[in-house]
Chains A and B, each alone.
Chain A
């Protein structure tokens, strides 16, 4: 097991290098650069000499591989992700808190999705083709069909109108710029439910379907009948055998939640005004703020890979059929 994990971690290094190259290349692909988009947005004409000075300062006239090398060697040796052009601050100043909040929201959303969808999925499979199953299925499909940002708007309205809560963002106004303290954590937790529900709805609906389908496959397997023929009660039987096997694919799907939340939920995060990485990535791509965008993509990839690693290790642990050699 330890060897398995060690080997997997060693495999990560080339994967990450390739991802960093691709991330950087993709950001460079659109024509123009940060200065070009700055100039196009500027209202007054910009002095060409000034532009050239900026271009030289940011190293934008150097070949792409030199730019890449500067960026990646800075990250590896000094943890320096470069400067954001748009914010005029080091990238690392901008992203760490956002990344932390993104992780917090992701983990809470993951927990929410699992806690809600697994029992409902089990119910739906065991009571196949009953009114309860149809009801859950309908609610699930509605949850899947409603765009998250729309749900966000509706729930924000309800929270504001009927509960008087300050909506949007992850903090009450007085805590936004405050230092971390117990009160700030509690304030965060009291704001967290709204984005967690909104971001989790589609995932919950999808996972109910996955759980239902997995379990239906397992319920008709012979080993379930064999356990029943040993005299096990239906409830113990259900959880010891088919549910246990049906959970395996869910564990392997766990890794997808990070990229989905970081990049896929940008619109919802903008609507909800969440200080997560999604909106930041969106803006940096618009502005061709290449070091910020590249660093975000790199970090999201790292998270995804770590998520995959964690889910692989969990899977190897819960499913003895997976060979560790």
Chain B
């Protein structure tokens, strides 16, 4: 085992790490072949913090989120890796080992880890009231009577800023606006005070003003409850606003991870740099064309050899990048990148790195 791993294990042992995802691979076994949607992703989330997972469409962000909750749709399966989650009672459980239909994971879902989705319209049942869905979550995880569950549901709707909460409780999703639907989704997700909220592009389907409101709401609720948030987005503006830590994903793996300042001000991986350059800036004076990353994300069956980013990389080193699969190189204590530009030697003695 490599020294890196021992170091990461040591971090998992400390109390403030809530979730640790290690080298998780989730593959989809389709008739046409195996789609390696997630191919070795690592992330670690501390209690009370917000971790943003960013990347282009199809880079495995959502599948990573679904893997954590074990709701990867068939024919997808987690083939290897660990998902260590620190439960409320202090036990650490490897979610990747649980039966996805079993009681243990079901108690974690909704109770300790909740998820909100990209499209609040389709994530709410078309034929059930909002109240029925909130109360369902409450009655599943808390020992309360129906009246108490209803009361709690009303106070949750009030908490997420829905006007006339007791009326909205009996409303159907199609009777609410997009922003209200997402608020209702958040109310359902937070009804049992989870330790971790997974937000899978929760604002993508909303207009900009509503988007800002929802982000503020999540931040406020996080402040009050001390929960951790795993926020999946492709919007770097959102990342800058809410993230403590950032993981940049490309083709199913983390290519760079670190604190939000490090990622924005000192990006190391060429992909991260390219992503940051392709943000349109309103204050740019010159008439230059907006930078865009050359090429497109490769077809899932046609995964490049070596570093998966090499066909699109500006810093491509022939004979190296297309052959060697880069390991994680530590740039500093909490900042790592998977790129051959950075000496893997750093991995081997991370503690001595400042001295070299």
A positions within 8 Å CB-CB of B: 220-223, 225-234, 240-241, 244-245, 248, 318-321
26 contacts between A and B (CB under 8 A): A220-B73, A222-B119, A222-B122, A223-B123, A223-B124, A223-B125, A225-B71, A225-B73, A225-B123, A226-B117, A226-B124, A226-B188, A227-B133, A228-B71, A229-B115, A230-B110, A230-B114, A230-B137, A230-B140, A231-B107, A231-B108, A231-B109, A234-B101, A245-B125, A245-B126, A320-B126
Number of interface residues of B (CB under 8 A): 31
From A222, A229, A244, contact of B127 by CB (8 A): A244
Are A229 and B122 in contact, CB atoms less than 8 angstroms apart? no
Judge whether B115 and A231 touch: CB under 8 Å.
no
**Shortest Cβ distance from A242 into B: residue:** B125
A320, B127: Cα distance in complex, Å:
6
B positions within 8 Å CB-CB of A: 66, 69, 71, 73, 101, 106-111, 114-115, 117, 119, 122-128, 133, 136-137, 140-141, 172, 174, 185, 188
Task: Given A220-B73, A320-B172, answer yes or no on A225-B106 (Cβ-Cβ < 8 Å).
Answer: no
> Contact at A230–B117, with CB atoms within 8 Å?
no
Query: How many Å lie between the Cα of A225 and that of B66 in the bound state?
Result: 9
Q: Which residues of the other chain, B, contact A223 by a CB distance below 8 angstroms?
A: 122-126
Residue pair B126, A231 in contact (C-beta under 8 Å): no
A42 to chain B, nearest CB (A): 63
Q: Is the CB–CB distance between A230 and B101 below 8 Å?
A: no
Name the A residues within 8 Å of B124 (CB-CB): 223, 226
The answer to whether A321 touches B137, judged by C-beta atoms less than 8 angstroms apart, is: no
Complex CA–CA separation, A232 to B124 (angstroms) = 14
In the complex, what residues of A have CB within 8 A of residue B133's CB? 227, 230
Query: Bound complex: CA of A244 vs CA of B137, how far in Å?
Result: 19
**Nearest Cβ on chain A to B186's Cβ, whole angstroms:** 12
Q: How far is the CA of A241 from the CA of B172 in the complex (A)?
A: 14
- Min Cβ gap B147→A in Å is 20
Within the complex, the shortest CB–CB distance from A53 to chain B, in Å, comes to 65
Given contacts A225-B117, A226-B117, A320-B172, contact A232 B125 (CB under 8 A): no
Given contact pairs A245-B126, A320-B127, A321-B126, enumerate 8 new A-B contacts (beta carbons under 8 Å): A221-B122, A222-B117, A223-B125, A225-B66, A226-B123, A231-B140, A318-B127, A321-B172
Output the least CB separation between A218 and chain B (Å): 10
Instruction: For A234, list chain B residues within 8 Å (CB).
Output: 101
Most buried by B among A222, A232, A233, A319: A222
Shortest Cβ gap from A321 to chain B (Å)? 6
- Of the residues A220, A232, A318, contact of B106 by C-beta under 8 Å: A232
| B136–A232 touching, CB < 8 Å | yes
- The answer to whether A233 touches B106, judged by C-beta atoms less than 8 angstroms apart, is yes
Q: Report the minimal beta-carbon distance from B356 to chain A, rounded to whole angstroms.
A: 46
Could you tell me the distance in whole angstroms from the C-beta of A132 to the nearest C-beta in chain B? 16
Give the contacting residue for B137; candidates A220, A225, A231, A245; CB below 8 A: A231
* Top-10 shortest CB links A-B: A231-B110, A230-B110, A231-B109, A222-B122, A226-B123, A229-B115, A231-B106, A230-B137, A222-B123, A223-B125
Say yes or no: A229-B73 contact (C-beta < 8 A), given A223-B124, A223-B126, A321-B126: no
CB <8 Å contact, B127 and A230: no
Q: How far is B119's CA from A225's CA once the two chains are assembled, in angstroms?
A: 12
Which residue of chain A lies nearest to B140 when distances are taken between CB atoms in the complex?
A: A231
* Distance in Å: Cβ of A160 to nearest Cβ of chain B: 48
Chain A nearest CB: distance from B103 CB in Å? 8
Bound CA span A264–B318, Å? 73
Closest to B107 in A: A231
Q: How far is the CB of B53 from chain A (nearest CB, A)?
A: 17
A230: chain B residues at CB < 8 Å are: 109-110, 114, 133, 136-137, 140, 188
CB of B125 within 8 A of CB of A227, answer yes
| Contact present for B174 and A229 (CB under 8 Å) | no
Q: What's the nearest-Cβ distance from chain B to residue A133, in Å? A: 14
- Residue from A221, A228, A244, A321 in contact with B109 in the complex, judged by beta carbons closer than 8 Å: A228
Chain B residue nearest to A226 (CB atoms) is: B123
Tell whether, in the assembled complex, residue B111 and residue A241 are in contact, meaning their CB atoms are under 8 Å apart. Answer: no
Q: How far is the CB of B346 from chain A (nearest CB, A)?
A: 38
A220-B73, A241-B125 as given contacts; A231 in contact with B141, CB under 8 Å: yes
Give Cα A248–Cα B127 distance, bound, in whole angstroms: 10
**Which residues from chain A contact B117 at a C-beta distance below 8 Å?**
222, 225-226
Which of chain B's residues have a CB closer than 8 A to the CB of A321?
126-127, 172, 174
Residues of A within 8 A of B108 (CB): 231
Q: Which residues of B contact A248 (CB under 8 A)?
A: 127
B304 to chain A, nearest CB (A): 30
Q: Which of A228, A231, A248 has the most chain B CB atoms closer than 10 A to its own CB?
A: A231
Bound complex: CA of A231 vs CA of B113, how far in Å?
A: 10
Chain A min CB distance to B137 (Å): 5
- Chain B min CB distance to A99 (Å): 36
Chain B minimum-CB-distance residue to A244 = B127
A4 → chain B, closest Cβ, in Å? 17
A320 to B176: give the CA distance in the assembly, Å. 14
Contact in complex: A229, B126 (CB < 8 Å): no
Instruction: Please give the distance in Å from A212's CB to the nearest CB on chain B.
Output: 16
Query: Given the complex, which residues of B lie within 8 Å of A227, measured CB to CB?
Result: 125, 133, 136
Which chain B residues lie closer than 8 Å to A232 at the CB level?
Answer: 106, 110, 136, 140
A229 and B172 contacting across the interface, CB-CB below 8 Å:
no
CA distance A49 to B69 in the complex (A): 91
State how many angstroms separate the Cβ of B101 from the closest Cβ of chain A: 5
Residues in chain A near residue B101, CB distance under 8 A = 233-234
Bound Cα distance A231, B141 (Å): 8
B residues less than 8 Å from A240 (CB atoms): 128, 136
B109 touches A229 (CB 8 A): yes
User: Bound state CA distance, A221 and B119, in angstroms?
Assistant: 11
Query: Hey, which chain B residues are within 8 Å of A228, CB to CB?
Result: 71, 109
Instruction: List residues of chain B with CB within 8 A of the CB of A320.
Output: 126-127, 172
Please name all residues of chain A whose beta carbon is closer than 8 Å to the beta carbon of B110 when the two chains form the complex: 229-232
Minimal beta-carbon separation of B87 from chain A (angstroms) = 14
Alpha-carbon distance between A225 and B123 when the two chains are bound, in angstroms: 8
